[in-house]
Structure 1
Amino acid sequence: MQMLEMFEANQILLAGIVLLVAFVVWWVWWVRGRTKPAPKKREYTDVLSEGAEKAARNSALIDAPSAAALVTPPPGVGTMAGIGEVVAAAAAEEVLEAAPAPAAAADDLGRIKGVGPKLKALLTSLGVTSYAQIAAWTDEDIARIDAQLGTFAGRAKRDNWVEQAKLLANGDTAAYEARFGKV
């Protein structure tokens, strides 16, 4: 009996509470639900991504000629006589010497933390086969390689590949393990 009297005496207050709860539920469900920003889609592009299938892009990277193959001697070498031929031959030699030398031996890039089998194969297809190559990378080199790593972009900086490669190239296993863990 007391409960019924209390309910009748506070009908307006209870109606206000019900309306307030209904408004809060509507606001949370309708207003906040509609203002969620769409998740950002990360898009990786590289010079070979315009409409090419993945297999075609990889084949293009593998089949690309090396820089040394693209160098041709200046026109007239072999037909010029005297000092001109000597100068042209010397210039051709300088261009060939400026081309990056092939790596002496392929290192196990999988020893670098963050480089798994897929990434190791991708780096090999890009011509990266030794710790010394990675240890010599500049910020521009990292940006150039990142553009070709697709979904693996950003891993070189995030996992400190250059620092790891310097330690591995120097054979400093103790320093490597102290900084990055067991090899």
Structure 2
Amino acid sequence: HTRGDKVITRKKRQRQTYRRTIGHKQHLTVVKITGISADGAKKPAKKAAAKKDDAPKAEAAAAAPVAKPEVDARGRITSLEGKPDNLKKISGVGPVLEKKLHEAGIYFFWQVAALTAAQIEELEQEMSFPGRITRDNWIEQAKEFAKDA
């Protein structure tokens, strides 16, 4: 729902009130057409067929042991392979902090859970959020999420 263009009505009266204008915006509903099919047929569902093919691959990937990527002395990943964990599940971590953690080389819950006091202090300085990790109990939450992952 939106409002249309302003409709202006002018009223002619005598003397000072001669040039009065009154405006009104009419409520209206806008319908957007995203596509028109010439034959009236719906598009075929390609996603369902793709999911059937991906099932054996997913089982093979789950059966293979997951190797932890290389970590430097600070507990940070130098080169990421695969999909990182959703760090926004941790209370107090939003999209901005998740991006800063990724820039710092922290992509997984097990990394956050394994942080030492010195690493926490260094990370908080980099992110410009002093005391955030201990105040919001990131370590405890990350340990719980790492168990589930």
Q: Compare the two structures and name the one with the higher strand fraction.
A: 2
Q: Compare the two structures and name the one with the higher helix fraction.
A: 1
Q: Which has the larger radius of gyration?
A: 1
Q: Which has the higher contact order (CA 8 A, sep 6+)?
A: 1
Instruction: With the length of structure 1 as denominator, give the TM-score of the two structures.
Output: 0.37
